[in-house]
């Protein structure tokens, strides 16, 4: 089997497992809302961000309101997403830059997007792919980890992984590969407890059984850990925002 044939089999099995809907997990109503949500998603789960933005986008229902926000107040509003000081500072500065440089419109080109405060290639590619339909590869921790395990990249740097995947993955799967590898990373190919025996890609994976904590027992341990994490998350969600740890 050639490398391209192996990749085609991987993509086919991912499509079969997770479908071909390229909708992001983040909830948003327009381009600038997705931009804000993606900034908030750094070192935070999409589920937590979606909880926070339910109220956030009602309170700040325009770029002008974000641009004029008091940083201390915005920090409290986004506290539970973690790193709230830097995120609040960047969101305010980003909103101001969009109004001053782009007339309130979110640009579609990578250079203009990454010139905005708090916007790196990952955030820019999320917006480009989901708002403008521009084929883009977003490399988060799940995507980078699984790309290395599948032998699709040997790099740790997210930008290098992005370009490795762009070379090997057909353009019509650039957006899908982001969502598929994130889903796989959350459910099966976890960082510490990958369940290799339960993975539908095990026949195509050169790292099968070699990753830390992999195997049948890892699947049970992973489920127990996920259950405990879910309970902790539910308890945290019920707590007042100002009492939550910024490291959630």
For the chain, count helices (H), then strands (E).
12, 0
- Report the CATH number that the domain containing residue 21 is assigned in CATH: 1.10.340.30
CB 216 within 8 A of CB 197: yes
Domain containing 50: what range? 1-248
Weakly modelled stretches of the chain, pLDDT under 50? 216-248
Contacts by 214-218, CB closer than 8 A, 24 or more apart: 218/193, 218/194
Whole-number pLDDT of residue 239 = 35
CB 131 within 8 A of CB 31: yes
Whole-angstrom distance, CA of residue 248 vs CA of residue 226: 15
Question: Which residues participate in catalysis according to the annotation?
Answer: 122, 140
| Class of residue 46 by CB neighbours under 10 A (exposed 0-12, middle 13-18, buried 19+) | middle
Q: Provide the number of structural domains found in the chain.
A: 1
CB 180 within 8 A of CB 18: yes
Angle between helices 84-102 and 31-40 (to 10 degrees): 150
Question: 223-246, pLDDT tens digit by residue?
Answer: 444 444 444 344 333 333 333 333
Question: 168-189, pLDDT tens digit by residue?
Answer: 999 999 989 988 999 999 899 9
Whole-number pLDDT of residue 25 = 86
Whole-angstrom distance, CA of residue 198 vs CA of residue 17: 13
Angle between helices 121-130 and 31-40 (to 10 degrees): 140
């Amino acid at each position: 089997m050639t490398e391209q044939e192996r990749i085609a089999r991987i993509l086919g099995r991912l499509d079969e497992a997770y479908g071909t809907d390229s909708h992001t997990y983040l909830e948003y109503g327009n381009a600038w809302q997705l931009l804000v949500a993606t900034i908030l998603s750094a070192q935070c789960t999409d589920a937590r961000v979606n909880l926070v933005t339910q109220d956030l986008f009602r309170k700040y229902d325009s770029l002008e309101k974000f641009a004029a926000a008091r940083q201390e107040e915005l920090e409290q509003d986004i506290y539970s997403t973690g790193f709230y000081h830097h995120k609040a500072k960047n969101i305010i500065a980003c909103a101001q830059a969009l109004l001053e440089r782009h007339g309130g419109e979110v640009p579609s080109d990578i250079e203009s997007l990454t010139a905005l405060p708090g916007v790196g290639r990952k955030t820019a590619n999320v917006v480009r792919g989901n708002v403008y339909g521009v084929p883009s590869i977003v490399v988060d921790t799940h995507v980078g980890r699984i790309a290395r395990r599948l032998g699709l990249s040997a790099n740790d740097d997210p930008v290098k992984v992005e370009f490795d995947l762009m070379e090997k993955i057909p353009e019509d799967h650039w957006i899908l590969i982001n969502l598929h590898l994130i889903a796989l990373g959350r459910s099966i190919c976890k960082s510490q407890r990958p369940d290799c025996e339960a993975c539908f890609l095990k026949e195509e994976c050169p790292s099968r059984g070699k990753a830390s904590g992999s195997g049948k027992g890892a699947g049970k341990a992973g489920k127990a850990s996920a259950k405990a994490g879910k309970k902790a998350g539910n308890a945290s969600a019920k707590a007042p925002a100002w009492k939550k740890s910024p490291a959630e």
